[in-house]
């Protein structure tokens, strides 16, 4: 490739030499320079096109407000579908263990990144349970799912409750709420054992002050119960929690705290007509057992409660050898 400086050197030399040779060489050099610039532009254009093609190659659906929701969809398209809904502030990757387990059992497994989380659009609005449910409906409509099983962990359990209560007839066959936020997390007149609002204010202020450090401290401590005496922290789980959290939008995560803590799911639970498994650990330090699972059971028409003595909030990751077979048993029942 010719640089502008080399062309300039040749130009000065030819000015001294003079004659027809100078004109021919100057013309050739100018053409070479134009070709070099054109080739560089074409290369850059190709690179941008490749990046765009790579983005489009990801599996996404677009919601009514233009948000792109990323999802994974593994297994035979005609197999029984299970849709997994992740907790805050994670992503579809948090379900890798369960997705691989049920994929090997012959199921079709699907998991999405909630808006503002993971690889989905970092949208400025829509961080509420109503919009989350619309996003799920957009996904299930696009995939034409019928009779699917929906499994939600923590915040994802709230998303499942809101979606299933409003789903089109025939879309859902069963649901599972694991360590889930329904019927409502925050302390209130109807839920005196709920979590004081000051705790959620603290989550917001800590996130705003230093999200990166917060996303180390939270899984290192109460989320997986690694702060309990005798607990053995699993560094891979902690690192993966941090990785997933930092992929998402700080703003979306901040707004989502209100969504998972202050939403009242009582009417959703009453409206659900399909069988629901409620699975919760008694040592859940994030969503206290007494303020959640037993109360949800009172509102569900066809609920089954599975209590795990001493298990933490993140028990799907710390105790998958126990949880996965129990989920399978419920699906087969």
Enzyme catalytic residues:
154, 284, 313
Q: How far lies 231's CA from each of 20, 221, 318, in Å?
A: 87, 10, 11
Closest C-alpha to 157, from 135, 179, 172, 139 = 179
Q: What is the DSSP letter of 167?
A: P
Cα 94 off chain centre by: 8
- CB-CB contact of 155 with 115 (8 Å): no
Q: Which helix (H) or strand (E) holds 176?
A: strand 172-178
**Long-range interactions of 91-97: CB distance < 8 A, separation 24+:** 91/117, 91/118, 91/119, 91/244, 91/247, 91/248, 92/118, 93/118, 93/240, 93/244, 94/153, 94/240, 94/241, 94/244, 94/316, 94/317, 97/316, 97/317, 97/320, 97/324
3-state class percentages of the chain: helix first, strand second, coil last, to nearest 5: 55, 15, 35
Sheet holding 108-112, edge to edge: 60-62, 68-74, 108-112, 81-85, 148-153, 172-178, 276-281, 303-308
């Amino acid at each position: 490739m010719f640089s502008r400086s080399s062309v300039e050197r040749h130009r000065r030399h030819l000015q001294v030499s003079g004659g027809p040779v100078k004109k021919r060489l100057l013309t050739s050099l100018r053409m070479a320079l134009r070709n070099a610039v054109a080739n560089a532009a074409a290369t850059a254009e190709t690179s941008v096109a490749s990046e765009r093609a790579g983005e489009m190659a990801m599996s996404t659906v677009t919601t009514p407000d233009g948000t792109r929701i990323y999802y994974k969809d593994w297994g035979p398209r005609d197999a029984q579908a299970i849709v997994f809904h992740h907790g805050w502030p994670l992503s579809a990757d948090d379900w890798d263990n369960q997705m691989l387990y049920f994929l090997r059992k012959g199921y079709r497994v699907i998991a999405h990144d909630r808006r503002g989380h993971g690889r989905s659009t970092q949208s400025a609005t829509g961080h509420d349970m109503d919009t989350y449910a619309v996003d799920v409906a957009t996904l299930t409509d696009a995939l034409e799912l019928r009779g699917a099983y929906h499994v939600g962990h923590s915040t994802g359990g709230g998303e499942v409750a809101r979606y299933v209560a409003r789903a089109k007839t025939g879309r859902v066959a069963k649901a599972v709420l694991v360590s889930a936020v329904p019927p409502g997390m925050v302390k209130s007149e109807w839920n005196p054992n709920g979590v004081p609002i000051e705790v959620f204010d603290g989550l917001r202020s800590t996130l705003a002050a230093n999200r990166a450090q917060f996303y180390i401290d939270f899984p290192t401590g109460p989320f997986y119960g690694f702060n309990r005496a005798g607990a053995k922290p699993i560094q891979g789980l902690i690192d993966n929690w941090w990785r997933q959290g930092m992929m998402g939008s700080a703003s979306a995560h901040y707004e989502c705290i209100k969504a998972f803590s202050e939403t009242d799911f009582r009417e959703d639970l009453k409206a659900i007509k399909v069988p629901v498994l409620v699975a919760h650990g008694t040592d859940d330090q994030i969503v206290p057992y007494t303020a959640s699972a037993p109360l949800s059971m009172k509102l569900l028409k066809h609920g089954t409660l599975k209590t795990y003595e001493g298990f933490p909030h993140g028990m799907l990751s710390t105790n998958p050898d126990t949880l996965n077979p129990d989920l399978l048993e419920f699906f087969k029942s």
